[in-house]
Chains A and B, each alone.
Chain A
Amino acid sequence: NAGVTQTPKFQVLKTGQSMTLQCAQDMNHEYMSWYRQDPGMGLRLIHYSVGAGITDQGEVPNGYNVSRSTTEDFPLRLLSAAPSQTSVYFCASGSDRTGNTIYFGEGSWLTVV
């Protein structure tokens, strides 16, 4: 049981490039989400999913796409990277079966130059 796994851990992108941050969980959690963390801003919800085939926008969705084709995976796509997307990204998952606790992955540090 690895929990929530994120890859890559570190990435440097050039402005305009696209990339995908991967997130996988092996706990059969129905809920998955992506947050970004910026200095002094706390964590802000980007997108979330309450089950396979269902996604919805959070607080700061612009510039990001998600899909949920399986229960286990929830990738986050940056379509055309901008310096404003330099941040630490956390994937999280949760389940009604675990009292709704949200478990975070280890984070992905992204720098856009």
Chain B
Amino acid sequence: GENVEQHPSTLSVQEGDSAVIKCTYSDSASNYFPWYKQELGKRPQLIIDIRSNVGEKKDQRIAVTLNKTAKHFSLHITETQPEDSAVYFCAASEEGNSGGSNYKLTFGKGTLLTVNP
């Protein structure tokens, strides 16, 4: 089955700096890669996702890059703010019947991001 490795496990940055979280996956059949943000005691919430036909995707201060050849993808947060402090999870899944995810997400173990004011 799929195996997703996520690094680093903890990341501390100063407000305004950039943060980068990296993930690698093992199954070449995976083609859907979402990122979730989870605040303490709350549910994971999708912040951005990317599919294998796209190399990079941006949404305001957040961007995700994908390198299918190397089987790795990364989350980039620019101009970090204290409210970005949370645990971030990457995940991967294979294509489903309709061309999208088959919903069987395999998650990385998470990165605790702390943004210091």
Contact = CB atoms under 8 A, between A and B. Distances in A.
B100 A102 contact: no
Main secondary structure of the interface of B (DSSP, over half): loop
Interface in B87-115: 89, 96, 98, 100-101, 103-110
Given A96-B98, A100-B96, A42 B34 contact: no
B108 A96 contact: no
Contacts of A105: 43
A75 interface: no
B103 A104 contact: no
Interface string A85-113: 00000100010100111111111000000
A49 B89 CA distance: 23
A35 B104 CA distance: 10
A41 B44 CA distance: 14
Interface of B: 1, 6, 9, 32, 34, 42-46, 49, 89, 96, 98, 100-101, 103-110
